DNA sequence: CGTCTATTTGAATGTACTCAAAAGCGGTGG
DNA sequence: CCACCGCTTTTGAGTACATTCAAATAGACG
């Protein structure tokens, strides 16, 4: 594969020596997705860590009433994966799907464990990645249990300004936990 | 300090050699808390990782209207900390307070970093701890944005059966994101 | 231009909150 | 042992927030 982009992307975030870079690049799979392509579907075990180079993915659940609930968006330089399914080898409840044509770097499960086992730096870097994701998630929980739809929408705008004009209000509504109709009302009242 | 309990607790969960155990024990502070004692208060920087040996802590936010929102309970063998405040040296928005007389093991921030830097095993173990916490949190978010109060209460019962008779419904209501009055209604209808 | 999707609007309904008050329960001191 | 206090839990009425369903309007794209 063309290793250039991988090296470039990762050396912006992680300090790696040449040996570590080589080890990483050998295990990285570059993949191009069309719009509305699935990276993970309900029932499959999530066998990859995914890094978004360009584009945008969403991870969501479909509940028993057929409603969609967005759990996470991942755009440029974000990681996404169903960690529960990945680590416990359980069928996922979730879908991961592209909202745009998207370019990702995938790491297959065995390769992830090889990274951990061969170079300490990966244990550390993935620890830090997940710590940051955890911190963000915690803020979201607090928000969800303590704020109104309007406040959650305002927070979304503040946190994801780069997504605002790229994704539909249907997607945003599904992320903040309201219906599109109600988000429309909220937006009307805000102006 | 009396190192016995620390060693016992940790070797149940982590595989450590003698050198690592010694290193850990030297950096562990055992602390006894009365009921309603604070481990962290809003405005302070969270400078510790906390492991609960016995008892129960809650972490919560007080919003601008004076309402309480429980983010996490930590009982026997659980870790708790405001990771955002810890890693970014920011004043915390949160309180951590004991719900019972509680016995904890604290790791001061510098010591945590020493653990990471001197023994690979700690980078890995804390990675795994936070990964599991992340997975749990993710389930909670999904739940919060897709379920009714009744479903959230049932899930709480299922997930924390050991806490049910130890903490008040006020605390549970604050965790699942409803008022105590409404939780009472829900429980009435359930029977 | 037509089709598909996204967004808005409105009315009726349901879910959860607020406020006030009553009832239950456990511990403590006399 | 009982009376009282503080806290938790319940009850009810009125209100606010958010959903459902149906339909109209607007935009995007081949």
Residue pLDDT, tens place only, A106-147: 999 999 999 999 999 999 999 999 999 999 999 999 888 888
| Set of chain B residues whose Cβ sits within 8 Å of the Cβ of A67 | 146
Alpha helices in A119-164 (DSSP H): 120-146, 149-159
Cβ–Cβ contact A124 with B under 8 A: yes
| Set of chain B residues whose Cβ sits within 8 Å of the Cβ of A130 | 127, 130-131, 134
B143: left (phi over 0), alpha (psi -120 to 50) or beta: alpha
Q: Are B47 and B91 in contact (CB under 8 A)?
A: no
Question: Which positions 5-64 of B are in contact with A (Cβ < 8 Å)?
Answer: 61, 63
| CB nearest B141 (choices: A120, A123, A144) | A144
Question: Which positions 104-123 of A are in contact with B (Cβ < 8 Å)?
Answer: 116, 120, 123
Return the pLDDT at A7. 80
Q: Which residues contact B45 (CB under 8 A, 6 or more apart)?
A: B85, B86, B89, B90, B91, B92
Distance CA B87, CA B142 (A): 26
CA atoms within a 13 Å half-sphere pointing along the CA-CB vector of B172:
26
Query: Could you report how far apart the first and last alpha carbons of chain B are, in Å?
Result: 50
Is residue B152 over pLDDT 60? yes
pLDDT of A31-76, one tens digit each?
A: 999 999 999 999 999 999 999 999 999 999 998 888 999 999 999 9
Question: In the predicted model, what is the mean pLDDT of chain A?
Answer: 92
Which pair of tokens denotes residue A92? 């996922």
Best of A131, A148, A149 to substitute, by most chain B Cβ atoms within 10 angstroms, is: A131
Is residue B30 over pLDDT 80? yes
Q: Which residues contact A169 (CB under 8 A, 6 or more apart)?
A: A180, A183, A184, A187
Q: What 3 state SS string does B49-100 have?
A: EEEEEECCEEEEEECCCCCEEEEEEECCCCEECCHHHHHHCCECCEEEEECC
| Set of chain A residues whose Cβ sits within 8 Å of the Cβ of B61 | 142, 146
**What pTM value is reported for the model?**
0.92
């Amino acid at each position: 594969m063309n290793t250039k982009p991988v090296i470039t992307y990762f050396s912006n975030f992680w300090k790696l020596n040449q040996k570590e870079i080589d080890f990483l690049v050998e295990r990285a799979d570059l993949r191009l997705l069309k719009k509305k392509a699935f990276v993970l579907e309900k029932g499959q075990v999530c066998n990859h860590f995914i890094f978004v180079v360009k584009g945008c993915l969403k991870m969501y659940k479909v509940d028993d009433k057929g409603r969609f609930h967005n759990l996470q968006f991942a755009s440029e330089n974000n990681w996404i994966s169903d960690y529960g399914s990945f680590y416990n080898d359980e069928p996922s409840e979730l879908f991961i799907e592209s909202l745009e044509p998207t370019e990702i770097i995938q790491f297959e499960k065995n390769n992830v464990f090889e990274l951990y086992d061969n170079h300490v730096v990966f244990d550390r870097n993935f620890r830090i990645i997940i710590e940051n994701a955890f911190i963000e998630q915690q803020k979201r929980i607090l928000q969800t249990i303590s704020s109104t739809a309007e406040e959650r929408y305002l927070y979304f705008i503040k946190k994801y300004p780069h997504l605002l004009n790229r994704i539909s209000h249907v997607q945003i509504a599904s992320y903040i936990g309201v219906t599109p109709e109600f988000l429309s009302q909220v937006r009307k009242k805000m102006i």
